[in-house]
């Protein structure tokens, strides 16, 4: 779907690197929310944008590797439910 649109023939490794950068930006925004309380609307908006960019990179990586993103979403949904059950039981943090 997106392979014909890959800018500069970006490699999967480069995409994974960008994905990691986006995850770091989300983490940084969450930390800033704690350190600088008050009007959090800018932080919330920025975190959501960074999280959206992270999802874009995850989808692009799927396309590059020939993975079915719908199948990965199903796997993620299953793992999410497992994680929520563990958190409710206090098993993981």
Question: pLDDT tens, 33-62?
Answer: 888 877 777 788 889 999 999 999 999 999
d(CA 30, CA 13): 26
Q: In this structure, is residue 19 part of a structural domain?
A: yes
| Structural domain total, the chain | 1
Note if the pTM is more than 0.85.
no
Q: In this structure, is residue 32 part of a structural domain?
A: yes
pLDDT bucket at 1, cuts 50 / 70 / 90: very low
In terms of residue numbers, what domain contains 61? 3-67
d(CA 60, CA 64): 6
Mean pLDDT of 55-72: 92
> What element of type H or E holds 45?
helix 41-65
61 CB-contact burial (10 Å; exposed 0-12 / middle 13-18 / buried 19+): buried
């Amino acid at each position: 779907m997106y392979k014909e649109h890959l800018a500069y023939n970006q490699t999967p490794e480069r995409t994974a690197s960008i994905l990691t950068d986006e995850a770091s930006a989300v983490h940084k925004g969450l930390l800033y929310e704690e350190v600088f309380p008050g009007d959090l609307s800018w932080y919330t908006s920025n975190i959501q944008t960074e999280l959206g960019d992270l999802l874009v990179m995850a989808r692009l990586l799927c396309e590059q590797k020939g993975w079915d993103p719908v199948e990965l979403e199903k796997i993620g949904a299953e793992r999410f439910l497992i994680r929520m059950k563990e958190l409710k039981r206090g098993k993981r943090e």
